[in-house]
């Protein structure tokens, strides 16, 4: 009887882990290993709600690779994918356990820093950029950080955080390209 239970348990455990791996693949980008757009959006909304409920701070970073089109045009899209994969790997290694990174598309990444002020988000973004630059000398970033303390009276959504950070990122990009 014990052997039968052990065999069933082994099958179930294998099936369970297969389901977990399947779920992980469905929410992460196959190129970069970071969260896909839908998943980072869901997590972002959840973190905004949590920050409102507990009157906490939240920072969101929108970052975009500088001159990535040139890498794709000059070296090909396969090398571009290798660059994106390395950026994803380095960003994941930079984050605290409670932080999130996602790739909404193209060469853009969103980072979510719960319990973090704008200054803390800026410092974290700078730390991540420096790590990427150390690993991939050809890659630079422009980024914008939007953070604030929230409470239940705020009507801001995750999309608002992204919109503000995106605007700041484009302002930084314009300064960089002048």
0.85 exceeded by pTM: no
Number of domain units in the chain: 1
For 119-161, the three-class secondary structure string (H helix, E strand, C coil) is HHHHHHHHHHHHHHHHHCCCCEEEEEEEEEECCCCCCCCHHHH
**How far, in Å, CA of 155 to CA of 168, rounded?**
20
Say if 64 falls within a structural domain.
yes
Closest among 84, 39, 43, 83 to 60, alpha carbons compared: 43
Say if 158 falls within a structural domain.
yes
CATH code for the domain of 86: 3.30.70.270
Residues marked as catalytic: 107
- Across 121-147, average pLDDT: 90
Say if 148 falls within a structural domain.
yes
Say if 149 falls within a structural domain.
yes
Say if 10 falls within a structural domain.
no
Say if 15 falls within a structural domain.
no
**How far, in Å, CA of 156 to CA of 1, rounded?**
58
pLDDT one-digit tens code per residue, 82-117: 889 999 999 999 999 999 999 999 999 999 999 999
Least reliable range by pLDDT among 13-22, 55-64, 150-159: 13-22
Say if 87 falls within a structural domain.
yes
pLDDT one-digit tens code per residue, 22-76: 445 588 998 999 999 999 999 999 999 999 999 999 999 999 988 888 888 888 8
Say if 5 falls within a structural domain.
no
What residues make up the domain containing 146?
32-177
Q: How many CA atoms lie within 13 A of 111 on its CB side?
A: 36
What pLDDT band is residue 78 in, cutting at 50, 70 and 90?
confident
């Amino acid at each position: 009887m014990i052997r039968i239970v052990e065999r069933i348990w082994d099958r179930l455990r294998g099936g369970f882990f297969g389901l977990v791996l399947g779920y992980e693949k469905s929410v992460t980008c196959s190129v970069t290993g970071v969260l896909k757009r839908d998943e980072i959006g869901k997590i972002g909304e959840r973190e905004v709600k949590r920050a409102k409920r507990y009157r906490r701070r939240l920072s969101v970073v929108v970052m975009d690779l500088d001159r990535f089109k040139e890498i794709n045009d000059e070296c090909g899209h396969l090398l571009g994918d290798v660059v994106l994969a390395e950026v994803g790997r380095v960003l994941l290694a930079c984050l605290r356990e409670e932080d999130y990174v996602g790739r909404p598309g193209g060469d853009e990444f969103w980072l979510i820093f719960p319990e973090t002020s704008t200054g803390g988000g800026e410092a974290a973004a700078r730390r991540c950029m420096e790590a990427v630059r150390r690993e991939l000398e050809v890659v630079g970033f422009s980024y914008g950080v939007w953070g604030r303390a929230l409470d239940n009276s705020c009507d801001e959504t995750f999309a608002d955080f992204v919109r503000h950070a995106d605007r700041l990122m484009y302002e930084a990009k314009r300064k960089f390209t002048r």
